[in-house]
A and B are shown apart, each in its own frame.
Chain A
Amino acid sequence: TQLLEQSPQFLSIQEGENLTVYCNSSSVFSSLQWYRQEPGEGPVLLVTVVTGGEVKKLKRLTFQFGDARKDSSLHITAAQPGDTGLYLCAGRYSGAGSYQLTFGKGTKLSVIP
């Protein structure tokens, strides 16, 4: 089983602050996705990154894929209460079993008005 480390596990910040969530592995990803999950619902895809060094932006969210494709980060600028939720990274590893999807344990974000 491949391990995908996500940090921090919990994050409580004031509205307007910036934050970064990290996702790391010792193995190379063939692709990595970020999801957001609200209570009582299934995760919803935010972004997929495939190419090493790739940067994608989604409004105030910036996603970066490491050059070596072993890590990724999610940066939120000027967080708002609507950003509150559980953020999950999920990776597919290169090689055998690459159709298996491994999730990090998630970062529970609370944005206080």
Chain B
Amino acid sequence: EAQVTQNPRYLITVTGKKLTVTCSQNMNHEYMSWYRQDPGLGLRQIYYSMNVEVTDKGDVPEGYKVSRKEKRNFPLILESPSPNQTSLYFCASSLRGDYQPQHFGDGTRLSIL
């Protein structure tokens, strides 16, 4: 089954403790991206990747890192999480970075105390 898989689905952690949210897709898509969704602010793009070893900032990249060492994986790294990064995070992929449909994962709800 074609899908985008995020892990974990839920995480409660403390300020400053490094964490990684993994994202994997099995559709051989070139384009992958990360979003955060907050009430009243909608979905905002954090980082995106056009292909392996090619990443670029979205609208809200501060406090996040990403890497794209393999085509299928696009982890989101929070080196020193802070409470303002408490949010619902979505990973998405598409065949290319143009008008192709984005396929979203089911989300990761992250709470930073």
Give A contacts to B, CB under 8 Å.
1, 6, 30-31, 33, 35, 40-45, 48, 50, 88, 90, 92, 99-106
Give B contacts to A, CB under 8 Å.
4, 31, 33, 35, 40-45, 48, 50, 56, 58-59, 90, 92, 97-99, 101-107
Additional 13 contacts, C-beta under 8 A, given A1-B59, A31-B98, A35-B102: A30-B98, A33-B102, A40-B107, A42-B92, A42-B104, A42-B106, A44-B104, A45-B102, A45-B103, A88-B42, A88-B43, A101-B45, A106-B43
Given that A40-B106, A41-B106, A41-B107 are known contacts, is A100 also in contact with B48, CB under 8 Å in the complex? yes
Q: How far is the CB of A41 from chain B (nearest CB, A)?
A: 6
The number of inter-chain residue pairs (CB within 8 angstroms) is 67
6 example contacts (A-B, Cβ-Cβ < 8 A) are as follows: A42-B4, A42-B92, A43-B102, A99-B50, A100-B59, A103-B42
Contact (Cβ within 8 A) A99 B104: no
Interface pairs A-B: 3 shortest CB-CB = A42-B104, A31-B99, A105-B42
Given that A33-B102, A42-B92, A101-B33 are known contacts, is A106 also in contact with B42, CB under 8 Å in the complex? yes
Contact (Cβ within 8 A) A48 B56: no
CA distance A90 to B107 in the complex (A): 18
Chain B hits for A43, CB < 8 A:
43, 90, 102, 104
